[in-house]
Chains A and B, each alone.
Chain A
Amino acid sequence: MAGAGGGGCPAGGNDFQWCFSQVKGAIDEDVAEADIISTVEFNCSGDLLATGDKGGRVVIFQREQEVPILKPMDLMVEASPRRIFANAHTYHINSISVNSDHETYLSADDLRINLWHLEITDRSFNIVDIKPANMEELTEVITAAEFHPHQCNVFVYSSSKGTIRLCDMRSSALCDRHSKFFEEPEDPSSRSFFSEIISSISDVKFSHSGRYMMSRDYLSVKVWDLNMESRPLETHQVHEYLRSKLCSLYENDCIFDKFECCWNGSDSAIMTGSYNNFFRMFDRDTRRDVTLEASRESSKPRASLKPRKVCTGGKRKKDEISVDSLDFNKKILHTAWHPADSVIAVAATNNLYIFQDKIN
């Protein structure tokens, strides 16, 4: 029976199985734009799970005590503003990050990062500005930014050229000069038209420990040690087989998809999404990885998830799926890992899947 050795999943060294728990959302094929889930996140304690959609609605799920079932709270929260922070962004905001001091937060758009105080709504400090005097000289944009989980003066921001800058707000008011610059050296002989596009970082996340950070570019996830700028500590291939499909992925705009990534509570495993409603998990300790699928077909209560495999050429084995059969409209861009338990939330377009460990 396929699956010997189990949904063999990583996360913390234990060989346990990921199982289906719940799925929320409509089943019908016609998905309205407003129903597309745009963000998923657990709160710090893991008692609550929030989702946001493109219609501007926020739904918060609460975990019930004994039985690990998530049910929506009585109120569906509409994103009605509690405070309105005066506009300081010309371009669309790509990141918001609350500081560990719980007093300030940053917002980032393509060219600027602003620092706000939660109590002050009419002004912000501009802390990064990469807009050139002459827009013709523009070579890169900011793609993501995040505060360090413990050091309230430190934040990072990533760029469309695959670089990450770490800034310390104590060094100067305007953080034009970075304290650290993370970039993996590129082999010039392998450069192509697509190189820069696929190196663009779509997400950057600090580990819970604050010792590492992770960056997601189009084909891989990289783990960086904050003390080593010259190259990443680890590189995990998400879907390397797409490298020979870049032409069509450029034509259908998929090459610009922004995948996010997340750490598990102990920072021993990382997760990110892919196409065909596949998502990938990498165990940093055992070096094992697995591909799982969020699908209605495998959504029976407590059913174990079977590992998926993409066939890249030659003979396709039974249960494998060929690269050409992948559905590029089914993309998993947003995933979240419970801060303490083996529970994950996966957003597949308009459906929210919850999976948990069998033991849990």
Chain B
Amino acid sequence: MSQKQEEENPAEETGEEKQDTQEKEGILPERAEEAKLKAKYPSLGQKPGGSDFLMKRLQKGDYKSSHWRSHWSVLLCVYEMQKYFDSGDYNMAKAKMKNKQLPSAGPDKNLVTGDHIPTPQDLPQRKSSLVTSKLAGGQVE
């Protein structure tokens, strides 16, 4: 009983205050939030959906680390290849590709760049220090 009162009292004290704010925000809480933001950052552009905003998004890849949905039958390892594709070598290789036999993997297996589209065998082995996922370890509960 007394515990309940303790919990209710703090809320009651600020209850009126809260009600005032709620009335102001009331119908358009979004607008109140917008006003708050603009008060903090006066130089913030009017239209967040404009190209500056989107360009930033494209450059960063994402505002959060990118994740991708995958279905079962396809396993992609795009990030492994990132350095290769970014370097521009891939485009050069594609340009030279016509009518050319795929050469066997060169002696340096760590460097997958150049004239051919890599195959799984070409890729450097994943680091041996790869830690087992903690989802796979431990007792079944």
- Is B135 a contact of A39 with CB atoms below 8 Å? no
Inter-chain residue pair count (beta carbon < 8 A): 220
Residue of B nearest to A72 (CB): B136
- Is B68 a contact of A95 with CB atoms below 8 Å? yes
Q: Which listed segment binds B: A46-54, A226-234, A287-295? A: A46-54
Chain A residues near B105 (CB-CB < 8 A): none
Give the distance in Å from the alpha carbon of A350 to the alpha carbon of B136 in the complex. 12
Give the distance in Å from the alpha carbon of A284 to the alpha carbon of B109 in the complex. 55
Give the distance in Å from the alpha carbon of A315 to the alpha carbon of B6 in the complex. 12
CB contacts under 8 Å to B, within A172-207, are 190, 192-197
- Is A196 a contact of B57 with CB atoms below 8 Å? no
A170 CB within 8 Å of chain B: no
Q: How many residues belonging to B are interface residues under a CB distance threshold of 8 Å? A: 71
- Is A96 a contact of B69 with CB atoms below 8 Å? yes
- Is A314 a contact of B18 with CB atoms below 8 Å? yes
- Is A79 a contact of B75 with CB atoms below 8 Å? yes
Q: How many residues belonging to A are interface residues under a CB distance threshold of 8 Å? A: 93
Give the distance in Å from the alpha carbon of A95 to the alpha carbon of B7 in the complex. 47
Q: Which of A25, A52, A58, A140 contacts B134 (CB 8 A)?
A: A25
0/1 per residue, A21-50, Cβ < 8 Å to B?
011111000000111011101011000001
Q: Given A79-B75, A84-B120, A315-B15 in contact, is the A141-B58 Cβ separation under 8 Å?
A: yes
Give the distance in Å from the alpha carbon of A135 to the alpha carbon of B11 in the complex. 51
Give the distance in Å from the alpha carbon of A194 to the alpha carbon of B69 in the complex. 26
Give the distance in Å from the alpha carbon of A251 to the alpha carbon of B40 in the complex. 10
0/1 per residue, B88-119, Cβ < 8 Å to A?
00100010000000000000000000000111
Give the distance in Å from the alpha carbon of A300 to the alpha carbon of B11 in the complex. 32
Q: Given A71-B140, A136-B51, A138-B54 in contact, is the A58-B75 Cβ separation under 8 Å?
A: yes
Q: Given A87-B81, A196-B49 in contact, is the A246-B76 Cβ separation under 8 Å?
A: no
A78 CB within 8 Å of chain B: yes
CB contacts under 8 Å to B, within A201-231, are none
- Is A96 a contact of B74 with CB atoms below 8 Å? yes
- How distant is A148 from chain B, measured CB to nearest CB, in Å? 14
- Is B71 a contact of A105 with CB atoms below 8 Å? yes
- Is B30 a contact of A190 with CB atoms below 8 Å? yes
**Could you write out 16 A-B pairs with CB less than 8 Å apart?**
A39-B68, A53-B133, A84-B76, A92-B61, A93-B76, A94-B66, A95-B69, A96-B69, A98-B72, A110-B57, A160-B54, A314-B15, A314-B19, A315-B8, A318-B7, A333-B67
Sample of 20 more A-B contacts, CB < 8 Å, known A38-B68, A92-B68, A247-B34: A23-B141, A25-B134, A53-B133, A53-B135, A56-B77, A79-B76, A81-B80, A84-B76, A92-B61, A94-B62, A95-B68, A95-B69, A97-B71, A98-B73, A105-B71, A141-B54, A194-B34, A244-B32, A251-B37, A257-B64
Give the interface of B toward A (CB within 8 A): 4, 7-8, 11-12, 15, 18-19, 22, 25, 28-34, 36-38, 40, 44, 46, 48-51, 54-55, 57-58, 61-81, 85, 90, 94, 117-120, 123, 126, 130-136, 138, 140-141
